[in-house]
Amino acid sequence: MENGNNNGSANGLDFLRVEGVVKNFGAVSVLKGVDMHVKSGEVLGLIGDNGAGKSTLLKTITGFHRPDAGRIFIEGEEVNLRSVSQARSMGIQTVYQDLELVNELSVFHNMFLNSEMTVGPFLNNGKMKEHTQQYLEDMGVNIPSINTEVARLSGGQRQAIAVARAVYSDAKMLLLDEPLAAMGAKEGALILDLIQRLKDERGIPMILIVHNYAQVFDVCDRVNLLRNGRIEYDKPVAETSVEELTELVVSEYRKARETGNGSR
């Protein structure tokens, strides 16, 4: 059974269900029938080698890509997402690894990018600042000033703002594409703390793409391995270990090298 057996169909507890999702780019088949589910309040770690299609999977869930086949259910309802904004309006927020903050804009403008508060035709900067300040304090995100250009912040601070922004407009689910990429241990801990708080205090279900498997164990409840276009491994973190996960991925790499098939 490739997808665990704890998810009977139409399970009311599943926030998100993905069934047989296929995505091709021209002749390249990236997702070949992905089955996946995330329960309410659950944090799912998604692992897999570079190019396994993890980001493609997230982008398919959020409507950035249209799946070529398969079905996606949110809270039991089948959805047919056509755009990222549609997914967003349903409360599904994504934080991509290619940080989507605008370096040239201030923290509070970034917080409200594309959902700005206005008075008539004009931006209501005062109100946006007020809300940003309050909100970041609530989330425990520390930055020097919300008027600072994002370019002047550290990688961890930027990521924290990106996550905070994603959660801001009543996110019901959060998809995080390598939230800890290119971050030092201290900065990574800041983000992990934030994720932990979101999980504990708000019970927001999340999918995290992670490369550092040790971090999976810090915050995730369950781990899925995406390989060959499918979820080939699905276990609660309590039943696995860093060594097992590493071995899983590395063995595939060895196999690929032997057959002379790049890992892509």
Give contact residues for another protein (rule: CB under 8 A): 64, 83-85, 88, 94, 96, 98-105, 109, 113-114, 116, 118, 121-123, 144, 151-156, 158, 182-184, 187
Question: What is the nearest approach in angstroms of another protein to the Cβ of residue 250?
Answer: 26
Q: At closest approach, how far in Å is the CB of 126 from another protein?
A: 12
Q: Which is nearer to another protein, 64 or 217 (CB)?
A: 64
How far apart are CB 123 and another protein at their closest, in Å? 6
CB nearer to another protein: pick between 37 and 88? 88
Pull the structure tokens for residue 229. 């276009």
Nearer to another protein, 104 or 200 (CB): 104
CB of 111 to another protein, least distance (A): 11
Q: At closest approach, how far in Å is the CB of 103 from another protein?
A: 6
> What phi and psi, each to the nearest 5 degrees, are found at residue 132?
-60, -50
Q: What would the 3-class secondary structure string for the chain be?
A: CCCCCCCCCCCCCEEEEEEEEEEEECCEEEEEEEEEEEECCCEEEEECCCCCCHHHHHHHHCCCCCCCEEEEEECCEEECCCCHHHHHHCCEEEECCCCCCCCCCEHHHHHCCCCCCEECCEECHHHHHHHHHHHHHHHCCCCCCCCCEHHHCCHHHHHHHHHHHHHHCCCCEEEEECCCCCCCHHHHHHHHHHHHHHHHHHCCCEEEECCCHHHHHHHCCEEEEEECCEEEEEEEHHHCCHHHHHHHHHHHHHHHHHCCCCCC
Closest distance of CB 146 from another protein, Å: 15
Query: Which residues have a Cβ under 8 Å from the Cβ of 149 and sit 6 or more positions away?
Result: 103, 104, 105, 106
C-beta closer to another protein: residue 122 or 260:
122
Give me the least distance between CB of 25 and another protein, in Å please: 18
Closest to another protein by CB, 69 or 182: 182
Nearer to another protein, 55 or 224 (CB): 55
Identity of the residue, 126 or 203, whose beta carbon is nearer to another protein in the bound complex: 126
